[in-house]
Chain A
C-alpha cells in the first residue's frame, strides 16, 4: 500500500463529493427564484439516496465479481461492503490503495451522475417521485454501466473479468464520459419527455435564470472538484494524475473561449452564463479523454465542445423538449464529442496508450468509442424512459398546474428561498407544540402536496 496514492484518492473523493453541492448552485442559479430550493434539493436528495444504496449493494453491483458477460457485478458478493473492510489489503484493480478508499472514490461518481439528470426537470417534478426515480435508475442503470466501463479487472492470463466495454472491448473512458455524462444526458432526455414542458416553456420570460452569481459559483466549485474527478481517476499521486490534471485545465479554458466566441458572433454579447457553460462543456468533453490525448489536442477538443454545445443548447426550442437547464445540450453532446474524439486523437505515448486515427491507428479505436457511447446512450435512455413512465402512471411524476404556478418551493417543500423585503406578517408555532398548526394556517395547508 502506498500512503501518497491513498491520500490523493481520499482527497479526490472529497473533491468529487463537493461537485454535487456545486452542481446544486450551478443549476439552482439557472432556475427562477420560486424553484431554486427544489432544484438544489434534487442534488442533495441524490447524495442521500445514492450514498445509502452504494454502501448497501451499489458498490457490489458495480465492482463485485462479474456475473457473466461483463454486464453486472454480483450485487450480493460485497453486500453491505462485506469483504472490503480489511484496511490493510489492497485490491487487484488498484495495487497501491486499500479497496475501501476506492469504494469511497467511486461512490461520489454515482452520486453526481444522478444529480446531473435533475437539470432537465426544473420546476415541475414531485420530490418523492424524483427520489424513487433516483433509487431505481442508479440501481438498474448506473451500477451496471459503471461495471461495464470502470471495472477493469482481468485474470492472471489477461482475460477480462470486468466490464464488457472498458476491459472487454477496450473502450477508453478515463473518468466517465460514457458512464457519467452520456449516461446522465440520455436519462435527462427521457425524463423531460416523460414530464413534459414547463408552463410557458419558450414563451414566459420568468423562466430566465434568477441568480447568475450562483451559476458562476457553482461552475467554479464544479471545476475545482473536477480535478479530483479526472486527476483522481489515476488512482495514484503520479504523472498520470498530472497529465489528466493539466488537460482538465486546458480543455475547459479553450471551451470557455469557444462558447463566448459563438455568443459574441451570434448574439452580440459574451455572457457570464456562456462562460460558465463553456467551462462545464469543456470539462465534460475532456473527462473520458484526459489520459488519452495531449494538452494541445485537449485544447482543440475543448474549443470544439465549447462551440458545438453553445449551438446544441438551442435545439430544444426547435425540437420542442423542455430540457430545462440543458443537460442534453451540455452533458450528452459534450460526452459524445469527448468520447469520440479519443478515436481521432488518442496518442500512443499517452498514459491510456490508445492509437487514434490521427496517429495511424485507423478507424478501429473510433469504432470502439462509438460502440461505447451508443450502447450507454441507448441503454440509459430506454431504461430511464421506462422507469419514468411507470412512476408517472403510478405515483405521478409531475406536480399539479396550480402548484407549478404557485412555485414548487412553497408548494412541495413549504419553504421559500428569499425573504424579499424582510416584511413578515403572520404567526409562528414550533411544530411539536402545536400539531394542529396545519389547520390554523390554511394558506400553508393548501400549498402542501404529497410528494
Chain B
C-alpha cells in the first residue's frame, strides 16, 4: 500500500478530484495548508502600505492506494494540478505498513 500526499493550488482541487474519481478513487482527505516554495510570497496593499505575505493558501490532499494503482494516481494528480506556473505544489508517495477500516475491522488493501 502507498500513501500519496499532494500540496496543490486550492483552485486545482476540483480538477484533481475529477481526475481521481475518473480513475475510480472512492475517497479523499482534504485539508487546508499554508506554505511557500520558490515563488515566495505575494503582496497586498492596504491604505497605501504594502504587506508581503510569505505563506500562500494551499490544499493538502491525501489518498491511500494499492501498490499497483499508486503510480497511475500520482501521474493523474500531477497532470490535473499542473498549471505551468511556480507555485503548483508537490506530490509525494510513501510506503504504508497497515490500514484498517474502523467500522468493519477490514485490514490491508480491503480497507482502502
**A269: which B residues are within 8 A, CB to CB?**
45
Contact B48 A205 (CB under 8 A): no
Q: Does B36 contact A (CB under 8 A)?
A: no
Looking at the complex, which of B13-21, B49-57, B72-80, B82-90 is the stretch in contact with chain A?
B49-57
Q: Does A5 contact B (CB under 8 A)?
A: no
Contact A314 B45 (CB under 8 A): no
Within 8 A of B (CB), among A240-277: 263, 266-267, 269, 271, 273-274, 277
Q: Does A313 contact B (CB under 8 A)?
A: yes
Contact A263 B48 (CB under 8 A): yes
In the assembled complex, the CB of A150 is this many whole angstroms from the nearest CB of chain B, namely 31
Q: Does A326 contact B (CB under 8 A)?
A: yes
Contact A274 B51 (CB under 8 A): no
Q: Does B92 contact A (CB under 8 A)?
A: no
Contact A313 B52 (CB under 8 A): no
Within 8 A of B (CB), among A196-215: 205, 207-209
Q: Does A310 contact B (CB under 8 A)?
A: yes
Q: Does A374 contact B (CB under 8 A)?
A: no
Contact B48 A209 (CB under 8 A): no
Q: Does B103 contact A (CB under 8 A)?
A: no
Contact A313 B45 (CB under 8 A): no
In the assembled complex, the CB of B32 is this many whole angstroms from the nearest CB of chain A, namely 8
Most buried by A among B49, B50, B53: B49
Bitwise interface map of B from 3 to 42 toward A, beta carbon under 8 Å scored 1, else 0: 0000000000000000000000000000000000000000
Q: Does A358 contact B (CB under 8 A)?
A: no
Q: Does A317 contact B (CB under 8 A)?
A: yes
Q: Does B44 contact A (CB under 8 A)?
A: yes
CB closest chain-B residue, reference A30: B46
Contact A208 B46 (CB under 8 A): yes
A contact patch SS: helix
Contact A208 B51 (CB under 8 A): yes
- Assembled-state Cα–Cα distance A208/B43 (Å): 11
**A207: which B residues are within 8 A, CB to CB?**
51
The listed residue (B44, B47, B53, B54) touching A274 by CB distance below 8 A is B47
- Assembled-state Cα–Cα distance A269/B54 (Å): 20
**B51: which A residues are within 8 A, CB to CB?**
205, 207-208
In the assembled complex, the CB of A261 is this many whole angstroms from the nearest CB of chain B, namely 13
CB closest chain-B residue, reference A325: B47
Contact B52 A209 (CB under 8 A): no
**B53: which A residues are within 8 A, CB to CB?**
205, 208
Contact A313 B44 (CB under 8 A): no
In the assembled complex, the CB of A323 is this many whole angstroms from the nearest CB of chain B, namely 11
- Assembled-state Cα–Cα distance A326/B48 (Å): 12
Contact B52 A267 (CB under 8 A): no
In the assembled complex, the CB of B104 is this many whole angstroms from the nearest CB of chain A, namely 26
**B47: which A residues are within 8 A, CB to CB?**
273-274, 277, 310, 313-314, 326
CB closest chain-B residue, reference A268: B45
**A313: which B residues are within 8 A, CB to CB?**
47-48
CB closest chain-A residue, reference B31: A421
Most buried by A among B47, B50, B54: B47
In the assembled complex, the CB of A270 is this many whole angstroms from the nearest CB of chain B, namely 10
- Assembled-state Cα–Cα distance A208/B50 (Å): 9
**B46: which A residues are within 8 A, CB to CB?**
208-209, 271, 273
- Assembled-state Cα–Cα distance A310/B44 (Å): 17
The listed residue (A277, A311, A314) touching B49 by CB distance below 8 A is A314
Bitwise interface map of A from 305 to 334 toward B, beta carbon under 8 Å scored 1, else 0: 000001101100100000000100000000
Contact A205 B52 (CB under 8 A): yes
Within 8 A of B (CB), among A258-302: 263, 266-267, 269, 271, 273-274, 277
**B49: which A residues are within 8 A, CB to CB?**
314, 317
CB closest chain-A residue, reference B32: A421
- Assembled-state Cα–Cα distance A205/B49 (Å): 10
CB closest chain-A residue, reference B47: A313
- Assembled-state Cα–Cα distance A25/B45 (Å): 20
Known: A208-B46, A208-B53, A314-B47; 5 extra A-B contacts, CB below 8 A, are A205-B51, A205-B53, A208-B51, A209-B46, A263-B45
Please name 14 pairs of A and B residues whose Cβ atoms are closer than 8 Å in the assembled complex, sorted by A.
A205-B51, A205-B52, A208-B51, A267-B45, A267-B50, A269-B45, A271-B46, A274-B47, A310-B47, A310-B48, A311-B48, A313-B48, A314-B49, A326-B47
Write the residues of chain B forming the contact surface with A, with a CB cutoff of 8 angstroms. Answer: 44-54
